[in-house]
Amino acid sequence: MLKTNERQVVEFLLQCSPGQPRIMPGWKVGRDGQPFLMPGIGGITLNVQVGDSAFGLAGDHVEPGVSCSANPKQRMQFPNDSLQLFACVGNRAEIVTGRPKGAKGVVTGTHGGSEHVMVDFAGSAREKMTYDDVIMIRARGQGLRLLDYPEIKLFNLDPSLLKKMKIKEIGNGKIRVPVTTLAPAACMGSGIGQAHVGTGDYDVMTSDPETVKEYKLDKMRFGDFVALLDHDNSYGRDYRKGAITIGIVSHSDCLRAGHGPGITTLMTCPKPLIEPVIDPKANIADLMKIGNKRKSK
């Protein structure tokens, strides 16, 4: 079992509410030069959840489940900046007001630009929610460390989810991490160069059909764990040969140039000490029995 500093990780409550769908007025233009008007970020999304394909939707930057904000009018400021930083993938959440009061959920990712935290709730709860409902998140994860692997850094990851990821220690200071997809460095786009990897995401560009086919990028699902090859997120999102970053798919494929499925950073190392291994079930829906793997009552 991986040794961590879990007992020293601070846990506290964060308050947020569903964020209304956000759209800029006017047409958007896709990478093919064609204008479009489609759903995008935000909302209580009724028919998209973790475990579903991140491709093929009539939308752009679609976020699964419930997109949450602590301050939708000033999304880059307090307290939304705190929500973005301290809400970690795998955190437990609960609706504490309204008709779905008591419904339990799980944080599945964060999205820069919209500054949303996505939380998975059962469809029955989403159907009853309003944008005035209050959600409490049990935040813990930032500051989590692997005690025997100091060069591997963790971000945005609940200790309980780390334990479920079926990571194996393989000697020589290396660990093996199950993922569904290997994304080449050349495909990393929007968000690259950002210094702060404790919030938001960055995109796997899907504009080149041959590369998409070669790496099976169009098979990615919301909630998939993926490996970003030759990318180091230790102190910002950067290219470094031999580095590996593990992340989770947080939003859908996109039509605009430089964009694609969003990846929230979970684990990174500037040296090749993380060995990704393909596992079709390396998805938070499978590991935590949420999203389209949740059993209906």
Instruction: Cite the residue boundaries of each domain of the chain with CATH code 2.102.30.10.
Output: 153-285
Instruction: Cite the residue boundaries of each domain of the chain with CATH code 2.40.10.170.
Output: 6-139
**pLDDT score at 296:** 67
**pLDDT score at 73:** 83
Say whether pLDDT at 297 is over 70: no
Q: What is the mean pLDDT of the chain?
A: 96
Q: Does domain 6-139 bear CATH number 2.60.120.1270?
A: no
Is pTM beyond 0.85 here?
A: yes
Per-residue pLDDT averaged across 61-71, rounded? 97
**pLDDT score at 139:** 98
| CATH code at 153-285 | 2.102.30.10
The string over 273-289, giving b where at least 16 C-beta atoms fall within 10 Å of a residue's C-beta and e elsewhere, is bbebeeeeebbbbbbbe
**pLDDT score at 291:** 97
| Confidence band for 19, pLDDT divided at 50, 70 and 90 | very high
